[in-house]
Amino acid sequence: MDKLKHFISQSFIGGVLVIAPIVILLLALRWAMHSVQALIAPLTDPLERITGAPSLVIDVAVIALILIACFMVGTLVATRAGLWIQNFVDAHLARFAPGYKLIRDIIQQMFGTNSNSPFTRGEAAVVQLYGSHIPSRATAIITSRHSNGWFTVFVPTGPNPTSGFVYHLPPDCVEPRPDIKLDAAFKSIISCGAGSAELGIINVNQPITSQ
């Protein structure tokens, strides 16, 4: 009887572990689709009334047009004239809409288009946030090096690496790890630390010091 109960419970849990991620993914896709439809509704509703085409066809066509527009704008701002227009628009929008610059900077940081983005220009490191005499360590991204030897680091929070904390640390609390690629470091953070041993985050030969 105990074996039968164990078998049933294990089978049930195994089924949940297989089905639950699929259901969550479908719900996330459904939410994303409804969100996109709500955003593009001011464009799709008039076209649907005028053409009488199915709503799905109109949605796909509008999304395709938006993607094409993004490509064309990206091509334009790559030119000198386009860059001047972008700077002109940015300056005026930042004056009349104070939150615009913050949103723009966040998006550029996330997509790595900013030259100072830690997601493209940073360097993986292992840091001791509470002093070199404290053995605990954290995975961090070096975002700036100062003339006095100090480092500014960004310590992401798992499983969301786009949020975290900024610390300014002395050199004896920062161990740069150029051997660890940024994408591998972020993958470990997204996995809440899983894979840290394979990356060699902690040097097993390094002695642990404490007060």
Instruction: Enumerate the β-bridge partners of residue 168.
Output: 152
Average pLDDT of the chain?
82
- 11 pLDDT exceeds 50? yes
CB neighbour list of residue 189: distance below 8 Å, 6 or more residues apart: 139, 156, 157, 158, 159, 161
Please indicate, yes or no, if residue 177 is contained in any of the structural domains: yes
Q: Are the C-beta atoms of 43 and 62 separated by less than 8 Å?
A: yes
Which residue among 68, 86, 112 closes a domain?
A: 68
Please indicate, yes or no, if residue 17 is contained in any of the structural domains: yes
Please indicate, yes or no, if residue 137 is contained in any of the structural domains: yes
Question: 119: pLDDT confidence band, cut at 50, 70 and 90?
Answer: low
Please indicate, yes or no, if residue 184 is contained in any of the structural domains: yes
pLDDT at 188: 87
122-152: pLDDT as tens digits: 789 999 999 888 888 999 999 889 999 999 9
Query: Distance between CA 193 and CA 195 in Å, rounded?
Result: 6
Mean pLDDT of the region 110-133: 74
Please indicate, yes or no, if residue 55 is contained in any of the structural domains: yes
Q: Are the C-beta atoms of 90 and 153 separated by less than 8 Å?
A: no
pLDDT at 1: 67
143-184: pLDDT as tens digits: 889 999 999 999 988 887 778 899 999 999 999 998 888 888
- 204 pLDDT exceeds 60? no
- Closest listed residue to residue 169, CA positions, set 121, 122, 129, 112: 129
61-105: pLDDT as tens digits: 998 999 999 889 888 888 888 888 888 887 777 777 777 776 776
Please indicate, yes or no, if residue 150 is contained in any of the structural domains: yes
Q: Report the half-sphere exposure of 63 (CA within 13 A, side-chain side).
A: 12
How many domains does one find in the chain? Answer: 2
Q: Which amino acid is at 179?
A: D
Let me know if 108 is exposed, middle or buried by CB neighbors in 10 A (0-12, 13-18, 19+).
middle
> What residues make up the domain containing 173?
123-199
Check whether residue 64 and residue 128 sit in a common domain: no
Let me know if 23 is exposed, middle or buried by CB neighbors in 10 A (0-12, 13-18, 19+).
exposed
Q: In the structure encoding, which two tokens stand for residue 133, read together?
A: 């005499």
Please indicate, yes or no, if residue 173 is contained in any of the structural domains: yes
Please indicate, yes or no, if residue 88 is contained in any of the structural domains: no
pLDDT at 170: 95
| Percent of the chain's residues with pLDDT above 70 | 87
pTM for the model stands at: 0.54
